Structure 1
Amino acid sequence: MVSRRAFLAGSGVVAAGGFGVFPGLTASVQAATSSTSGSPARLLPAFGRPKHLDYGDVSKLSGGDQTLLTTLQGIVNRTEPELYFLYDTGTQSTPDAKWLADMHLPTKLYANPLDLVAKYRSRIRGAIVHDPAVPDSINIATTLAGLENAVVADADQAKAHGLKIVKDLRGVFDGDRVKTYRWQLDNLYSRCTHKLLAGLPPTMVVNVENVVWQEIARETRQIRDSSNRGTYDLDVSAELGGEAVYVRFGDSFTDDGWGASVLQVSVKANGTEIARFLPNTPEEAPYLFDGSHSSIGGEGNRFADGGNYWIYRFAPPAGTTSLVVTVEMWNQYVVSITDIAPTRIEPFPYFRDYVVATKALVSWLPPGGETGELLIEHYAKYPTLAPYMGWFANDVSGEWDGVDLASQGGSPVIAADFYMNGTVHAGFTAPISDKVRPVKRITTPKNKVYVTLTFGEGDNIQYCQRRMRDIWDDPKRGEAPANWTISPLLAETGPGLFSYYQRTATANDLLVCGPSGGGYTYPGSWPADQLTQYLKMSGGFMRRTGMDQVYAYNNRQNNQWVPFPEEIAKGYADYTPVKGIIQSWDGDPLLVRRGGLPIIGIWGAPGKAAEYKTALDARIANWDGASPLFIAGGIGAWSWTPSDVAELAALLKDPYELVLANTFFDLLSRVLP
């Protein structure tokens, strides 16, 4: 879910870096106030342990029906988890099915999951009806559903299932997002839990089946330096004749993160200009059919990497026989066209069970402008350490700005917008060891290049639930040393998940704490006194889960990551068990000792094994071999697998030596001044 572009740093000799509460709940929820030893107080809501699960495959249902069921799940599971859903497919190879099987609970399959509405109708008061004309009303309805013991539905669903309308939001809001969420903050906040706040998109884009795309332009070279930047005329006339032409921009090499980038667009119909705009401007808005899978770059350019894309829609005047789209474009683009609307908008259903069950207030406020100001007001109302669960609008820029605002407001972020069945996973208990993995010590450091490789994204609990499970089950995992970032907060949001990874890890798998401790955050943006609370809480969770390594972010200034200052590093040393910090980095090589801890910047390279090895060779080209060299290598968790790591490991002959992070920092602590 978290989209992070990899950053490449310059070469160096010594180090290499750059990479880019609740009635019915079984326990009351308290703010975490962990000391420097022992277990932390409960940070997140507690749920009962499931004894039996009714489940069904909802993968083919509409977003509206999934929303109806996930909000029903929230009400039912609040007291004791009884409902579980499969969101991908009903096969036994998907994460949802695997986790269900791993729990070894009695289950009953419902061929039509919507039959569960009738079965559990007595548990709910009725429906909160959202306004299809105002997408954000879905979030208001979700907040109200938790408070009123109701489900979220549209009017047709409520009628079809015989649900009493508890509150009808049609016509209540006018589409002004700030005004809508201001009303919610003013009128519902006092009734909601103050232990967490949530951020979820009200709607999602769903692909329409049987759409045929015609490719009209492709960059066949792996270009990442904008050297092919130019003005391109894209003739899209072949798809004229329908109600509109849809133009999709994507990445021609999905492995390395340098896809299509566009700065200017103009459109001519029969030689007459009918549109001209820059990305991320009001002029672009009428033509941007789907921009949810793209991001805005530093020049104001729109880009999409990996499997991401964006789509423009152009509806020329009747009788148009020639339609040409002219773009300033660069890097690894692929452009395709169709005359069929390729996507539709549906309610976003995921994670709403957890939000409803905990009576959380849920909003969707992009972190800039007026919406950003209102988001700041939200953080100010919540106590220190109340997590922000969900995600932010605007992808990369939303991530950086959103996490920064949350950090300033004393809220760690838990990326959870695609975390499914959270009410079940939070209640299912499983043993988690607090024993730290022993270090495989290298007695005498040699004049080698010591490399440790780390899979990122572990702060993201939905990644831990879905993508991580997929690649963890790669049969080649364990053939080569690899570090796996993971959230220690799974001890409360998914004990069974954490337990599974811990007990199935090989000697070559090391679980390390994801950015930047107990929740994704930028420590440099926290008020100093609140940061101490965050570090104490993080230390408690890390001890509880047996982790003493951390991959961490700091804040950004002038579009670059800032190194940890002495006082923050000392805070980690004082309040957490970390033996060293791998820091997200995009500048010159970073290797320092601060607060008594070795800190090294993470370095990354595009492509897969062979290209990564070539980049490593270039990285060490100026190394004189007279002393050990340390490189913390980042691995793209969305594009790499353990098979790729094994392939890279086979290429790393002398002078390279691949080690786990605990061995890496044990060596580094002995040779670093």
Structure 2
Amino acid sequence: MKKKIGLIVGLGLIIVIIAVAALWLRPDKKEGIRWPQKQALPSFPPPADLLDLVSLNSKLIYEGEDPQNGQTTGKADGDGWLAVVGTDKAEELILDVKDITEVPTGDTKAAFNLSVDKFSDKNGIVAKLEIRDQKTDTILGSLEVSNWDFTQENASQTFEVPLTAPDSTHPLELRVFWTGKSSMKLYDVSFQSPRRADEVAMFESLRGVVNHTEPRIYDQDKSGTYWLDALGLSYTRIKNNWQLMDKYLSEVNGIVVYDPEVPDTYNLATTIAGLKNAIVAAPSLLEQLTSSPYNLPILEDLRGKFKSKLDVYNYLYDSYWPKTTHRVLVGLTPDLKTNLREYAMGIQASVVWLNPAVPEEEAILNKFMADMPYGTGLYLGWWPDEGTGVTKTSEFGLATVAADFSSNLSVLSGTSRKITPPKTPVKPRLENKVYVTYIVSDGDNLQYVEGSLPRFWETPNRGEIPIGWTVSPLMVDAMPGVLDYLNRTATDNDALISGPSGMGYTYPNMWTDQKGLDLFFSRTNDYMSRSGMRVLTVWNTVVGTTNPNVGKSIAEHAPSLLGFTSQGNTGVITVYKDSMPGQELQKGYGSSESDLTTYVESAMKKWDHKSPLFIGIQAQPWSVSYQNFVNAYHYFKDNKDISIVRPDVYFQLVRESNHLSIDSRK
């Protein structure tokens, strides 16, 4: 009996030892985060039941249109608070914000953005701006603004009021008094100071420490509460960010101090802090952080250790790159101290800012990228120059993921991975007509999806026309809940398709290892299948055609796709390996409403009316609105020769026209 017990105990110890060793040896393992080897980006734990909602803007902003800001006259007017002569009561407040404790102690300034509808023949005071110390009931700064102080009608103009802010025990009150002399709009009021910038940067690193075990802090500055509300996540607003330090102090091991004289030490400090569960702090904050009640130790002080950015990144490569993940490299300018940094810390990634166009910097960058897995590695963030940077990642078989201004990936990554792909509508009967499809570009950009796409998605008439919305297949990992929400709320006219070039932004023509390229498209096929996307957009530079080997790789390794587009601007359709149609769009990156119509009309001039003609137009969302697409649709609506369809239906028709199976999955 004793022998059996001993054997059982011995086996138990062996199992425990093996389990511990497996955890120790498994790459990229970090408490709270799951990162299976076949998964492109990690999954954070589910967000907390109640998230802390904060603002990490270097400016402390009070929006004019917020009805909670104590107004006693006027009304919200879309982008501000408007008071109209003859309609609204004069000699009243159009802003009265009390109990402000977030303004850092010391010299600062309040910037008031105002406009008047017209100039008066006779000058007069139109507004009185005031910042008060509520505790002592004293005015800290004030300014009277007259009608003739404005230089342009109906245009926002900034008026600054300098002041010295007391400590947080002296709450401030912010007041804008409207005299009624001219109709006036208040857009916003903001406070800005070097101290405020240092503080929000430090709180960003606190997010990195806190969110990797359980996402609990959400930054409202990118999209407000849009995604929280859409995904049913609860939150409470944090009035003063220092409350976070009090709440989460026990999770912080210490401080990494960067050197303001060598800006790139901020990237090194971020890398170190991610490994050590530390916060990154400017020297200006050390007295407060190392004193009671925080008493945090300085784990590493980078001041005076480096003479140049080259020294910084050589040191990072030698000392910390071996300890961080090699599956992702993060690229962030050291001037950008918020947004993606919390995510970089959470996944224990190295953070760099190296320009491939500078030989000395390129040599260091090459060392990092040579250590990354060809075909699956990702460069997350952005570049000093888009084309040069994406070319460099393509050279090493990597993909760029635009995400430098993504601000809540840790929270969004932890949302439910249950994604329900929508059904493709039944295609119309193929006729000898002109088939047009419209595509909105730039959806591979994760920060666009987080911050700008909601503006398009909430357009009241969305669904009026067939259109393709590019998004990233990486959303399966980075923001699965958002991807599922888009699928669930899409109309029958909305089709989600992949942005360039599948599992990240890369130029496939420039890849030198065919097996690595095949792997890239195989993973793209898997992620697109799970997300419900059937059409891929491929970029080989903004105006580049696709090489035959790339098309053949897509045909063989991404068979679930209906087809793909490329940027050749010729309209030529090629069928690869007798199974996969690819089209060089007639316009690959339109920038105006006229691009949506003139390229269609130009292509139609060569149409023989004896067979179908297929015209694909893609336009960027920065200067082309949803209404521009609607207008183009109605421009052609009465032309019986033209049928505008969504991209997946479009490629079904292309396939039928080329005698291919309508559904590539059968």
**TM-score, structure 2 normalization:** 0.69
Per the alignment, residue 391 of structure 1 pairs with 382
| 2:142 is aligned with 1:142 | no
| 2:292 is aligned with 1:165 | no
Per the alignment, residue 181 of structure 1 pairs with 313
Cα distance, 1:23 vs structure 2? 5.7
Distance 2:197 2:582 in 1: 45
On the 8 A contact 2:571/2:615 being kept in 1, the answer is no
Tell me which of 434, 452, 459 is aligned to 1:449: 434
RMSD: 2.1
User: What amino acid maps onto 2:560 in structure 1?
Assistant: P
Cα distance, 1:607 vs structure 2? 5.6
Distance 1:410 1:614 in 2: 37
SS of corresponding position for 1:365: coil
| 2:349 is aligned with 1:360 | yes
| 2:484 is aligned with 1:499 | yes
Cα distance, 1:43 vs structure 2? 2.0
| 2:470 is aligned with 1:485 | yes
User: What amino acid maps onto 1:443 in structure 2?
Assistant: R
- Offset from partner CA, 1:71-117 (integer Å, 9 cap, x none): 110111111111112125xxxxxx23111222323322111123212
Distance 2:449 2:345 in 1: 22
Q: 1:367 to 1:450 in 2, by over 3 A?
A: same
Q: 1:610 to 1:358 in 2, by over 3 A?
A: closer
Bigger mean CA offset, 590-599 vs 569-578 = 569-578
- Offset from partner CA, 1:38-88 (integer Å, 9 cap, x none): xxxx22122110122112223335443222111110111111111112125
Cα distance, 1:202 vs structure 2? 0.6
Distance 2:369 2:555 in 1: 24
Per the alignment, residue 593 of structure 1 pairs with 575
Q: 1:593 to 1:199 in 2, by over 3 A?
A: same
Within a 5 Å distance, the mapping from 1:170-319 to structure 2 comes to 170-175=303-308, 177-203=309-335
Distance 1:534 1:363 in 2: 24
Distance 2:611 2:278 in 1: 66
On the 8 A contact 2:255/2:281 being kept in 1, the answer is yes
Distance 1:477 1:53 in 2: 30
Per the alignment, residue 361 of structure 2 pairs with 371
SS of corresponding position for 2:320: helix
Distance 1:350 1:491 in 2: 20
Tell me which of 575, 581, 586 is aligned to 1:603: 586
Q: 1:529 to 1:63 in 2, by over 3 A?
A: farther
On the 8 A contact 1:30/1:195 being kept in 2, the answer is no
Gaps of 5+ in 2: 1-26, 61-195, 291-295, 660-666
Q: 1:187 to 1:140 in 2, by over 3 A?
A: same
Percent of residue pairs bearing the same amino acid type: 30
Q: 1:659 to 1:144 in 2, by over 3 A?
A: same
| 2:566 is aligned with 1:583 | yes
Per the alignment, residue 98 of structure 1 pairs with 226
- Higher relative CO (Cα under 8 Å, sequence separation at least 6) belongs to 1
Per the alignment, residue 520 of structure 1 pairs with 505
- Offset from partner CA, 1:265-316 (integer Å, 9 cap, x none): xxxxxxxxxxxxxxxxxxxxxxxxxxxxxxxxxxxxxxxxxxxxxxxxxxxx
- Offset from partner CA, 1:379-406 (integer Å, 9 cap, x none): 111223121111111xxxx222212221
Distance 1:560 1:58 in 2: 37
Per the alignment, residue 387 of structure 2 pairs with 400
User: What amino acid maps onto 2:350 in structure 1?
Assistant: L
Tell me which of 631, 635, 647 is aligned to 2:615: 631
Tell me which of 358, 372, 376 is aligned to 1:382: 372
Distance 1:106 1:560 in 2: 44
The number of residue pairs the alignment matches comes to 484
On the 8 A contact 1:31/1:386 being kept in 2, the answer is no
Q: 1:444 to 1:532 in 2, by over 3 A?
A: closer
Distance 1:182 1:30 in 2: 30
Cα distance, 1:456 vs structure 2? 0.6
Cα distance, 1:516 vs structure 2? 1.2
User: What amino acid maps onto 1:440 in structure 2?
Assistant: V
Per the alignment, residue 403 of structure 2 pairs with 416
Distance 2:550 2:352 in 1: 34
On the 8 A contact 1:57/1:87 being kept in 2, the answer is yes
- Offset from partner CA, 1:591-619 (integer Å, 9 cap, x none): 22123211111233756435632443234
User: What amino acid maps onto 2:616 in structure 1?
Assistant: A
On the 8 A contact 2:590/2:618 being kept in 1, the answer is no
User: What amino acid maps onto 2:249 in structure 1?
Assistant: R
On the 8 A contact 1:569/1:594 being kept in 2, the answer is yes
Q: 1:69 to 1:440 in 2, by over 3 A?
A: same
Larger Rg: 2
Distance 1:611 1:550 in 2: 21
- Offset from partner CA, 1:441-490 (integer Å, 9 cap, x none): 222322x2211000011111111111112111111111000000111111
On the 8 A contact 1:25/1:46 being kept in 2, the answer is no
Distance 1:48 1:624 in 2: 58
Per the alignment, residue 215 of structure 2 pairs with 81
Q: 1:539 to 1:479 in 2, by over 3 A?
A: same
Gaps of 5+ in 1: 1-20, 33-41, 89-94, 204-346
On the 8 A contact 2:228/2:234 being kept in 1, the answer is no
Distance 1:80 1:574 in 2: 37
On the 8 A contact 1:474/1:641 being kept in 2, the answer is no
On the 8 A contact 1:456/1:484 being kept in 2, the answer is yes
On the 8 A contact 2:469/2:494 being kept in 1, the answer is yes
Cα distance, 1:577 vs structure 2? 1.3
SS of corresponding position for 2:401: strand
On the 8 A contact 1:413/1:520 being kept in 2, the answer is yes
Cα distance, 1:569 vs structure 2? 2.6
On the 8 A contact 1:74/1:357 being kept in 2, the answer is yes
User: What amino acid maps onto 1:47 in structure 2?
Assistant: F
Per the alignment, residue 563 of structure 1 pairs with 546
Cα distance, 1:119 vs structure 2? 1.9
Per the alignment, residue 65 of structure 1 pairs with 199
Q: 1:609 to 1:139 in 2, by over 3 A?
A: same
| 2:443 is aligned with 1:458 | yes
Distance 2:444 2:270 in 1: 25
**TM-score, structure 1 normalization:** 0.69
Q: 1:517 to 1:128 in 2, by over 3 A?
A: same
Distance 1:522 1:99 in 2: 31
Distance 1:122 1:26 in 2: 17
